[in-house]
Amino acid sequence: MISKKTKYGLQALLALARAYGAGPVLIADLAEEERIPRKFQEAILLQLKNVGVLSSRKGKGGGYTLGKPPSEISIGQIVRILDGPLAPVECVSVTAYRPCTECRDENTCGIRLVMKDVRDAIADILDHTSLADMQQRSEDAARQQKSVVDFQI
Amino acid sequence: MISKKTKYGLQALLALARAYGAGPVLIADLAEEERIPRKFQEAILLQLKNVGVLSSRKGKGGGYTLGKPPSEISIGQIVRILDGPLAPVECVSVTAYRPCTECRDENTCGIRLVMKDVRDAIADILDHTSLADMQQRSEDAARQQKSVVDFQI
DNA sequence: TTATAAGTCTATTTAGTTGGTAGGATAAAC
DNA sequence: GTTTATCCTACCAACTAAATAGACTTATAA
């Protein structure tokens, strides 16, 4: 399970992606629009800013904007920042590998072999999906839903 | 990340799979062989017994055995018992669905659509891998490793 | 039938994480 | 220099994970 922090973060990023190119967005507006506790939101955005995913401006007319285009921000990257490694066990993590303390031989550990497949499957999806892709899928789903409703009318 | 509990549980099950058909195994032996804290191990085995994955006999000559053949115990089942749902968010869980509190329309939520893919990918692997499969992969890896070493000699 | 070898159960401890809040410091714009 | 915003540090409550302690129950063999 991903944490609320990550979920809130993705929600905020999605909102910022929609506003991309239209100037900075205030924390307060973002929090209200996405129904996220304000101060918690603040901490999340700050963390994303400190690693360069977001940029911000203080003072009047300030706020947050994406640090790069939505198509260049991958979901995998965001989840790793806010939630830690994707791998289900550390001994198969690419970004945070640590040897297994219990098992005798990592190369032949059955648990490890299976969990490596899981890690690869997760990473394959999340690292090849960008904020822009996510937006696109959401819009596609909305269009399809609408067409069904139209048909019913 | 899966919990230590789940990891320990899988280790113990793998050991019990190797001993399948050869009578019960003692908690104490299992704990020592797999380097798992004894009392913690005990609690894990008990939980697996209470859902029918394991069976046990008390008294002299007692111990734990698998409740069914290794080929009929899936890793997905075990992870769900010890670690909870596989899904990264509750709103895409098959076994523990709960609606999303923040998002306005689940059907068009981009986060949900992507996380559903992730859930399906994880479940696809873990529900189609049995203890026996895991054992097999481990043995295959061992054989391959050995042949490389032989070649070098 | 009794000693004892085993699993069963309840409770507790400790440490760490998650989710969230408070309030002042700092910077930019007007 | 005042207003408007982010930035930063610290804090707290609730929960979960990991592990341990110890008394209790039951089954078996001698």
| Strand C positions within 7 A of protein Cβ atoms | 4-11, 18-23, 26-30
pLDDT at B153: 66
At B48-91, the pLDDT tens digits run: 999 999 999 988 888 999 999 999 999 999 999 999 999 999 99
Give the relative orientation of helices B110-126 and A4-18 as an angle to the nearest 10 degrees.
140
Which three-class secondary structure state does DSSP give residue A99?
A: coil
Residue B124 in tokens: 């696809």
- Contact state of A10 with B111 under an 8 Å Cβ cutoff: yes
pLDDT value at residue B103: 87
What confidence tens digit (pLDDT) does each residue in B15-27 have?
A: 999 999 888 999 9
- Residues of A with Cβ-Cβ distance to B107 under 8 angstroms: 141, 145
Q: Which of A86, A68, A87 is nearest to A13 (CA)?
A: A68
Measured CA to CA, the distance from residue B117 to residue A121 in angstroms comes to 10
The answer to whether the CB atoms of A89 and B2 lie below 8 A apart is: yes
- Measure CB to CB from residue A14 to each of B110, B117, B121 and give the nearest one: B110
Distance, CA of B150 to C1' of D15, in Å? 52
From chain A, pick out residues whose CB is under 8 angstroms from the CB of B109: 138
CB B83 within 8 A of CB B5: yes
* Residue-wise pLDDT tens digits, A3-46: 999 999 999 999 999 999 999 999 999 999 999 999 999 999 99
Residue among B122, B124, B137 minimizing CB distance to A110: B137
